[in-house]
Amino acid sequence: MNAIAKDLTGFDFTWSSCALEHLGSIDAGIRFLLNQAACLKPGGWAVHTTEYNIFSNAKTWVSGGTVLFRRKDLDVLQGAAAQAGLELEAIDYSLGNLANDWFIDFWPYKSEPHLKLLVDGDLVTTSIILILRRVGASVVGSAAPTIDTTHGMIAPAVDRIPTQSSEPSGANPADELARIRAERDIWRSRYERVIGEEHERNIRDDRARLEETCKEWRTLYERLAAAPIVKQLLWVRRCLLRKKDPVAHISE
Protein backbone atom coordinates (compact mmCIF):
# COMPACT_ATOMS: atom_id res chain seq x y z
CA MET A 1 0.00 0.00 0.00
CA ASN A 2 2.96 2.31 0.47
CA ALA A 3 4.23 1.57 -3.06
CA ILE A 4 1.82 4.08 -4.59
CA ALA A 5 2.23 4.68 -8.32
CA LYS A 6 3.29 8.25 -9.11
CA ASP A 7 0.58 8.66 -11.76
CA LEU A 8 -2.24 8.14 -9.23
CA THR A 9 -2.95 11.82 -8.66
CA GLY A 10 -5.75 14.35 -8.84
CA PHE A 11 -8.43 12.32 -7.07
CA ASP A 12 -11.31 13.86 -5.13
CA PHE A 13 -11.51 10.97 -2.69
CA THR A 14 -9.45 8.04 -1.40
CA TRP A 15 -10.41 5.44 1.15
CA SER A 16 -9.50 2.15 2.81
CA SER A 17 -11.33 -0.08 5.26
CA CYS A 18 -9.50 -2.00 8.01
CA ALA A 19 -6.34 -2.35 5.92
CA LEU A 20 -3.57 -0.05 7.13
CA GLU A 21 -3.26 -1.92 10.46
CA HIS A 22 -1.95 -4.91 8.47
CA LEU A 23 1.09 -3.18 6.94
CA GLY A 24 3.49 -4.60 9.53
CA SER A 25 3.84 -1.74 12.02
CA ILE A 26 2.23 1.41 13.34
CA ASP A 27 4.99 3.38 11.55
CA ALA A 28 4.04 1.81 8.21
CA GLY A 29 0.37 2.59 8.78
CA ILE A 30 1.07 6.25 9.52
CA ARG A 31 3.45 6.44 6.54
CA PHE A 32 0.62 5.21 4.30
CA LEU A 33 -1.75 7.87 5.62
CA LEU A 34 0.85 10.51 4.77
CA ASN A 35 1.85 9.09 1.37
CA GLN A 36 -1.70 8.69 0.08
CA ALA A 37 -2.06 12.49 0.25
CA ALA A 38 -0.23 12.65 -3.10
CA CYS A 39 -3.23 10.93 -4.73
CA LEU A 40 -5.55 13.76 -3.73
CA LYS A 41 -6.01 17.05 -5.47
CA PRO A 42 -6.09 20.16 -3.25
CA GLY A 43 -9.33 20.06 -1.30
CA GLY A 44 -9.67 16.29 -1.77
CA TRP A 45 -10.75 14.02 1.08
CA ALA A 46 -9.44 10.71 2.44
CA VAL A 47 -11.40 8.39 4.75
CA HIS A 48 -9.73 5.40 6.39
CA THR A 49 -10.73 3.04 9.18
CA THR A 50 -8.35 1.08 11.37
CA GLU A 51 -8.01 -0.70 14.72
CA TYR A 52 -8.04 1.43 17.88
CA ASN A 53 -6.88 0.28 21.32
CA ILE A 54 -9.46 1.61 23.78
CA PHE A 55 -8.00 0.10 26.97
CA SER A 56 -4.41 1.33 26.97
CA ASN A 57 -2.44 4.32 25.75
CA ALA A 58 0.81 2.44 26.43
CA LYS A 59 0.64 -1.33 25.93
CA THR A 60 -0.34 -2.30 22.39
CA TRP A 61 0.66 -4.27 19.29
CA VAL A 62 3.17 -2.04 17.48
CA SER A 63 4.26 -4.58 14.85
CA GLY A 64 3.19 -7.86 13.30
CA GLY A 65 0.29 -8.99 11.17
CA THR A 66 -2.09 -6.60 12.95
CA VAL A 67 -1.29 -3.45 14.93
CA LEU A 68 -3.52 -1.53 17.33
CA PHE A 69 -3.29 2.24 17.22
CA ARG A 70 -3.32 4.12 20.52
CA ARG A 71 -4.59 7.63 21.08
CA LYS A 72 -1.04 8.95 21.36
CA ASP A 73 -0.22 7.39 17.96
CA LEU A 74 -3.10 9.32 16.42
CA ASP A 75 -1.90 12.48 18.18
CA VAL A 76 1.46 11.95 16.45
CA LEU A 77 -0.39 11.46 13.16
CA GLN A 78 -2.13 14.80 13.56
CA GLY A 79 1.17 16.69 13.75
CA ALA A 80 2.73 14.71 10.91
CA ALA A 81 -0.33 15.19 8.71
CA ALA A 82 0.01 18.97 8.87
CA GLN A 83 3.61 18.69 7.61
CA ALA A 84 2.41 16.46 4.75
CA GLY A 85 -0.18 18.98 3.58
CA LEU A 86 -3.09 17.24 5.29
CA GLU A 87 -5.64 18.33 7.84
CA LEU A 88 -6.89 15.61 10.18
CA GLU A 89 -10.50 16.12 11.20
CA ALA A 90 -11.30 15.95 14.92
CA ILE A 91 -11.41 12.27 15.88
CA ASP A 92 -14.48 10.92 17.66
CA TYR A 93 -13.12 8.93 20.61
CA SER A 94 -16.52 8.37 22.23
CA LEU A 95 -17.27 4.72 23.00
CA GLY A 96 -21.06 4.93 22.74
CA ASN A 97 -23.71 4.26 25.39
CA LEU A 98 -26.08 1.77 23.74
CA ALA A 99 -26.30 -1.88 24.73
CA ASN A 100 -24.13 -3.04 21.81
CA ASP A 101 -21.45 -0.52 22.80
CA TRP A 102 -21.07 -2.15 26.23
CA PHE A 103 -20.55 -5.65 24.85
CA ILE A 104 -16.97 -6.95 24.55
CA ASP A 105 -16.61 -10.16 22.58
CA PHE A 106 -14.17 -12.89 23.61
CA TRP A 107 -12.30 -15.35 21.44
CA PRO A 108 -13.53 -17.48 19.70
CA TYR A 109 -15.54 -14.53 18.43
CA LYS A 110 -19.16 -14.61 17.38
CA SER A 111 -20.51 -12.50 14.53
CA GLU A 112 -23.06 -10.42 16.46
CA PRO A 113 -22.34 -8.03 17.99
CA HIS A 114 -18.79 -7.60 16.73
CA LEU A 115 -17.88 -4.04 17.73
CA LYS A 116 -15.34 -4.40 20.55
CA LEU A 117 -13.01 -7.38 20.89
CA LEU A 118 -10.80 -8.65 23.70
CA VAL A 119 -7.40 -9.59 22.26
CA ASP A 120 -4.26 -10.93 23.90
CA GLY A 121 -5.82 -11.10 27.34
CA ASP A 122 -6.20 -7.47 28.37
CA LEU A 123 -6.36 -5.34 25.20
CA VAL A 124 -9.71 -4.26 23.79
CA THR A 125 -9.91 -2.97 20.24
CA THR A 126 -12.58 -1.41 18.07
CA SER A 127 -12.70 0.39 14.72
CA ILE A 128 -12.05 4.09 14.41
CA ILE A 129 -12.47 6.40 11.42
CA LEU A 130 -9.83 8.88 10.26
CA ILE A 131 -10.88 11.71 7.93
CA LEU A 132 -8.19 13.79 6.25
CA ARG A 133 -8.32 16.65 3.74
CA ARG A 134 -5.48 17.82 1.53
CA VAL A 135 -4.95 21.52 2.16
CA GLY A 136 -1.48 22.05 0.71
CA ALA A 137 1.36 20.48 -1.22
CA SER A 138 1.86 16.86 -0.17
CA VAL A 139 5.21 15.53 1.00
CA VAL A 140 5.67 12.02 -0.37
CA GLY A 141 8.21 9.52 0.92
CA SER A 142 9.01 11.35 4.14
CA ALA A 143 9.82 9.18 7.12
CA ALA A 144 7.01 8.53 9.53
CA PRO A 145 7.35 10.21 12.93
CA THR A 146 8.90 8.23 15.75
CA ILE A 147 6.39 6.00 17.53
CA ASP A 148 6.74 5.19 21.23
CA THR A 149 7.40 1.45 21.44
CA THR A 150 8.31 1.32 25.15
CA HIS A 151 5.36 -0.95 25.94
CA GLY A 152 4.96 -2.26 22.43
CA MET A 153 4.46 -5.91 21.57
CA ILE A 154 4.54 -7.98 18.41
CA ALA A 155 1.07 -9.12 17.42
CA PRO A 156 0.55 -12.87 18.00
CA ALA A 157 -0.10 -15.34 15.22
CA VAL A 158 -3.73 -15.43 14.11
CA ASP A 159 -4.24 -18.94 15.50
CA ARG A 160 -2.95 -18.11 18.97
CA ILE A 161 -5.46 -18.36 21.81
CA PRO A 162 -5.60 -14.99 23.63
CA THR A 163 -4.41 -15.37 27.21
CA GLN A 164 -4.85 -13.31 30.34
CA SER A 165 -1.58 -11.70 31.41
CA SER A 166 -2.20 -13.05 34.93
CA GLU A 167 -2.20 -16.65 33.71
CA PRO A 168 0.98 -18.65 34.43
CA SER A 169 3.03 -19.56 31.40
CA GLY A 170 2.52 -23.07 30.09
CA ALA A 171 -1.19 -23.18 30.94
CA ASN A 172 -3.11 -26.02 29.36
CA PRO A 173 -4.56 -24.65 26.06
CA ALA A 174 -7.77 -26.66 26.47
CA ASP A 175 -8.35 -25.28 29.99
CA GLU A 176 -7.53 -21.79 28.77
CA LEU A 177 -10.02 -22.09 25.92
CA ALA A 178 -12.73 -23.32 28.29
CA ARG A 179 -12.09 -20.44 30.68
CA ILE A 180 -12.23 -17.83 27.92
CA ARG A 181 -15.45 -19.30 26.55
CA ALA A 182 -16.99 -19.24 30.04
CA GLU A 183 -16.05 -15.57 30.48
CA ARG A 184 -17.43 -14.75 27.05
CA ASP A 185 -20.72 -16.48 27.88
CA ILE A 186 -21.02 -14.45 31.10
CA TRP A 187 -20.60 -11.20 29.16
CA ARG A 188 -23.02 -12.39 26.48
CA SER A 189 -25.68 -13.23 29.07
CA ARG A 190 -25.30 -9.73 30.54
CA TYR A 191 -25.63 -8.24 27.08
CA GLU A 192 -28.73 -10.29 26.27
CA ARG A 193 -30.33 -9.23 29.57
CA VAL A 194 -29.76 -5.55 28.73
CA ILE A 195 -31.15 -6.07 25.22
CA GLY A 196 -34.22 -7.81 26.68
CA GLU A 197 -34.83 -4.97 29.13
CA GLU A 198 -34.58 -2.42 26.32
CA HIS A 199 -37.03 -4.44 24.20
CA GLU A 200 -39.57 -4.64 27.04
CA ARG A 201 -39.21 -0.91 27.70
CA ASN A 202 -39.83 -0.13 24.01
CA ILE A 203 -42.95 -2.32 24.01
CA ARG A 204 -44.30 -0.49 27.08
CA ASP A 205 -43.62 2.90 25.47
CA ASP A 206 -45.33 1.86 22.21
CA ARG A 207 -48.37 0.55 24.11
CA ALA A 208 -48.64 3.81 26.08
CA ARG A 209 -48.50 5.90 22.90
CA LEU A 210 -51.13 3.71 21.24
CA GLU A 211 -53.47 3.97 24.22
CA GLU A 212 -53.07 7.76 24.27
CA THR A 213 -53.88 7.99 20.55
CA CYS A 214 -56.97 5.78 20.97
CA LYS A 215 -58.13 7.95 23.87
CA GLU A 216 -57.83 11.11 21.73
CA TRP A 217 -59.82 9.56 18.88
CA ARG A 218 -62.47 8.27 21.31
CA THR A 219 -62.91 11.75 22.79
CA LEU A 220 -63.22 13.27 19.34
CA TYR A 221 -65.79 10.68 18.29
CA GLU A 222 -67.87 11.26 21.42
CA ARG A 223 -67.88 15.02 20.79
CA LEU A 224 -69.03 14.47 17.22
CA ALA A 225 -71.68 11.92 18.17
CA ALA A 226 -73.11 14.20 20.86
CA ALA A 227 -73.63 17.12 18.48
CA PRO A 228 -77.00 17.56 16.69
CA ILE A 229 -77.05 16.04 13.23
CA VAL A 230 -77.65 19.42 11.59
CA LYS A 231 -74.60 20.87 13.32
CA GLN A 232 -72.55 17.91 12.19
CA LEU A 233 -73.59 18.40 8.57
CA LEU A 234 -72.86 22.12 8.72
CA TRP A 235 -69.40 21.38 10.09
CA VAL A 236 -68.71 18.96 7.27
CA ARG A 237 -70.05 21.39 4.63
CA ARG A 238 -67.97 24.25 6.03
CA CYS A 239 -64.83 22.11 6.01
CA LEU A 240 -65.42 20.96 2.45
CA LEU A 241 -65.89 24.53 1.26
CA ARG A 242 -62.66 25.55 2.99
CA LYS A 243 -60.91 22.38 1.78
CA LYS A 244 -60.10 21.37 5.32
CA ASP A 245 -60.12 17.99 6.99
CA PRO A 246 -63.53 17.72 8.75
CA VAL A 247 -62.09 15.71 11.63
CA ALA A 248 -59.25 18.17 12.15
CA HIS A 249 -61.73 21.08 11.98
CA ILE A 250 -63.98 19.48 14.58
CA SER A 251 -61.02 18.99 16.91
CA GLU A 252 -60.43 22.74 16.80
Check whether 105 has a pLDDT greater than 50: yes
Is 50:29 a contact under the CB 8 Å cutoff? yes
Average pLDDT, the chain: 77
Query: Whole-angstrom Cα distance, residue 146 to residue 246?
Result: 73
β-strand partners of 118:
124
Q: Quote the crossing angle between the two packed helices 71-83 and 26-35, to the nearest 10°.
A: 30
Instruction: For 172-223, write each residue's pLDDT tens digit.
Output: 666 766 766 676 677 667 667 766 777 777 788 888 888 888 888 888 777 7
Percentage above 90 pLDDT, the chain: 26
Q: Regarding beta strands 60-63 and 152-154, do their DSSP bridges make them parallel or antiparallel, or are they unpaired?
A: parallel
Which pLDDT value is given to residue 172? Answer: 65
Task: Identify the weakest region by mean pLDDT among 94-98, 154-158, 176-180, 207-211.
Answer: 154-158
Which pLDDT value is given to residue 59? Answer: 85
Which pLDDT value is given to residue 218? Answer: 80
Question: Domain coordinates of the chain in residue numbers?
Answer: 11-166
Task: Identify the weakest region by mean pLDDT among 65-69, 119-123, 208-212.
Answer: 119-123
Which pLDDT value is given to residue 162? Answer: 40
Is 136:51 a contact under the CB 8 Å cutoff? no
Mean pLDDT computed over 92-111: 77
Is 88:45 a contact under the CB 8 Å cutoff? no
Residues 32-67 as b or e (16 or more Cβ within 10 Å = b): bbbbbbbbbeeebebebbbbbbbbeeebbbbbbebb
Specify the higher pLDDT residue, 108 or 51.
51
Check whether 124 has a pLDDT greater than 80: yes
Query: Whole-angstrom Cα distance, residue 36 to residue 141?
Result: 10
